[in-house]
Amino acid sequence: MNSGPSITANSPHFQRRWVEYYEAIAGRPPRDTLLMALELFSTELSARRRRTAVDLGCGEGRDTVEILRQNWRVIAVDGEPEAIARLRRRSDINRTYLETRVQRFEELTLPPDVDLVNASFCLPFCPPAAFAQLWEEIVTALRPGGRFCGHLFGDRDSWSAYCDISFHTRPQLEQLLAPFEIELLDEEDQPGKTALGDEKHWHLYNIVVRKR
């Protein structure tokens, strides 16, 4: 999905500093996109069975904690063993309905009939060559009426200079979202800072969608 003249064989690779990131965001609340999706489910007829969410790129668990708190079953996935170790050590979770996996997006396999796939600030870190397969896995796993919520990066994001980050133009995003009804599609395009305090231009899509 990446495009644009800046992508060449010599494009730099993104420097991953996940452990520093986990330290920096420790104690932060769940993402607004997740809260909106959970709220939308709560207005629907309550399911007789326990609902199942997949929290992709769960990190140290800021979103997983909230989904468990709302009595869902959660499959929390992250490619970084330290993320899963930190999540499992948390004292503020009940692990009865938590399954954790150290798995990279490039090898992701999901069960069928998932109610929610949450992917906060993580899918862009899937290498572009593997993104289409990852997205297909997510869409296929969701039941009709299930939701995806999370974030993708737009093509004006300053990290689009990195060859191993996936970013999407607005038309590309609309194509990805074709199997869904859009409940939130909010685009941010402004200078800001990362969680580690570095300056960057954010071109970000905040997404909550419901599978048709």
Ligand X SMILES: C[S@@+](CC[C@H](N)C(=O)[O-])C[C@H]1O[C@@H](n2cnc3c(N)ncnc32)[C@H](O)[C@@H]1O
Instruction: Report, in Å, the least distance between residue 207 CB and ligand X.
Output: 13
Q: How far apart are CA 144 and CA 159, in angstroms?
A: 33
Instruction: Report, in Å, the least distance between residue 62 CB and ligand X.
Output: 5
Neighbours of 47 (CB within 10 A): 11
**Joined tokens for residue 56:** 């992709």
For ligand X, which is the closer residue by CB, 7 or 25? 25
For ligand X, which is the closer residue by CB, 27 or 112? 27
For ligand X, which is the closer residue by CB, 106 or 189? 106
For ligand X, which is the closer residue by CB, 65 or 173? 65
Q: What residues are paired with 119 via a beta bridge?
A: 56, 150
Neighbours of 99 (CB within 10 A): 13
Instruction: Report, in Å, the least distance between residue 136 CB and ligand X.
Output: 16
Calculate the alpha carbon distances from 90 to 62, 85, 93 in Å. 10, 9, 6
Instruction: Report, in Å, the least distance between residue 19 CB and ligand X.
Output: 9
In sequence order, what are the residues at sequence separation of 6 or more whose Cβ sits closer than 8 angstroms to the Cβ of residue 96? none
Residue 127: name the closest of 16, 202, 24, 33 by CA.
Answer: 16
Instruction: Report, in Å, the least distance between residue 66 CB and ligand X.
Output: 11
For ligand X, which is the closer residue by CB, 81 or 112? 81
In sequence order, what are the residues at sequence separation of 6 or more whose Cβ sits closer than 8 angstroms to the Cβ of residue 178? none
Instruction: Report, in Å, the least distance between residue 150 CB and ligand X.
Output: 8
For ligand X, which is the closer residue by CB, 89 or 181? 89
In sequence order, what are the residues at sequence separation of 6 or more whose Cβ sits closer than 8 angstroms to the Cβ of residue 99? 73, 74, 75, 76
Residues near ligand X (CB under 6 A)? 18, 21, 25, 31, 57-59, 62-63, 78-80, 83, 104-106, 120-122, 125-126
Q: What residues are paired with 203 via a beta bridge?
A: 189
